[in-house]
Structures are given as structure tokens and as C-alpha cells.
Amino acid sequence: MSTLFEIIGGALLLIGSVFLFLGGLGIFRMPDVYNRLQAGTKATTLGGMSLILGVGFLMVETSWMWMAKAVIVVIFIAFSNPISSHALARAMYKRKRYPLITSKDENMDAYKEIVENEKKEEDS
């Protein structure tokens, strides 16, 4: 049973390291803030969760509390990372830092009209 936990823990550590490395590359390679934010969020969410679970599996023989703590941290990361990234993206959009558009987006014109109408209603 000990060897099984070590194999699972080692595999999760390796997977987490690969996710974090590729996410770091993605942050440098992506063209705008939104794409960089997406790459960083996926990397830290999946990579961090894999690393923490890997440590939990490696330390489970010492005490099962390691695994319980690892699961609690993974649940926290699973909820907090996407929410914080969404808040950052929304703040960037409200500051008029629009994403690089490489194709025609039909919804963008409709969205701009809605925003303009809301501003007119606030002014009056």
C-alpha cells in the first residue's frame, strides 16, 4: 500500500510541475492580458491542486490528517482561483482594456450599445 501512495503522489507532483511550467510559458507567449490571465489561472489551479494532492499522498503514511488538510486546501483553490481571475478580468474590461480581437464579434456591437444606454440612463 505504501508503494501505491508513493507512485500516485509522485505522478501528481510531476503532473502539477508540468502544468505550472506550461502555464509559465503561456504567460510569456500570450498576446494580451486576458489570454495571460487564462493561462495563469489554469496553471495555478490545476498545477497547484495536483502538487498539494501529491504531497498529501506522499505524507499519508505519517498521518491521514495530511490528506484531509490537502483536500481542504484543494477545495479552497478550486473555488478561489477562478473567482479571483474573473474579478481581475472584469476590472480590466471596465478600465477599457479590451481583448485583442482577431475576428469579428457580432455580440461586441450589441454589448457596446447596452453599455451606452446604461450610461445615458445613469446621467439622466
- Structural domain spans, the chain: 2-123
Q: What is the DSSP letter of 117?
A: H
pTM, to two decimals = 0.72
Q: What is the pLDDT along the chain (124 residues), one digit of tens a residue?
A: 688 999 999 999 999 999 999 998 988 888 888 888 888 888 889 999 999 999 999 998 888 898 999 999 999 999 999 899 989 888 888 887 777 765 566 677 777 788 888 888 877 7
Whole-angstrom distance, CA of residue 21 vs CA of residue 42: 12
Degrees to nearest 5, angle at CA 89 with 83 and 93? 145
Cα maximum dimension of the chain: 70
